């Protein structure tokens, strides 16, 4: 009986790790689109094209993200802001944004 529980826990853990891996691929795609936007000015279109493609939809689904048009619009808005994902996910950036909201 305990072997079954261990197998289930291990399988669930493997699933979460693969989901995190695909989420990292999505973050890398966003970073690439931001770099393209700064260099060539076409980052918004490239992330939209990728997210709407078959491969993009599959990666988003594997990352646990529903590949809807709302998701694509949100990714396009994120690329328009031009803030790299590592900066956007940091604590200092969230504290800076909170302070800016309080000041306004």
Q: Which pLDDT score is estimated for 91? A: 80
Do 33 and 65 touch, CB atoms closer than 8 A? no
Inform me whether the pLDDT recorded for 1 exceeds 70.
Answer: no
pTM beyond 0.85: the answer is no
Q: Which pLDDT score is estimated for 49? A: 98
**How large a percentage of the chain has pLDDT more than 70?**
90
Query: pLDDT tens digit string along 48-89?
Result: 999 999 999 999 999 999 999 999 999 999 999 998 998 888
């Amino acid at each position: 009986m305990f072997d079954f529980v261990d197998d289930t826990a291990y399988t669930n853990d493997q699933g979460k790790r693969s989901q995190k891996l695909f989420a990292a691929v999505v973050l890398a795609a966003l970073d690439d689109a931001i770099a393209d936007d700064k260099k060539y000015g076409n980052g918004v279109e490239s992330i939209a094209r990728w997210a709407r493609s078959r491969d993009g939809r599959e990666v988003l689904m594997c990352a646990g993200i529903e590949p809807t048009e709302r998701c694509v619009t949100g990714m396009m808005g994120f690329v328009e802001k031009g803030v790299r994902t590592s900066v956007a996910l940091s604590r200092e950036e969230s504290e800076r944004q909170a302070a800016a909201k309080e000041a306004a």
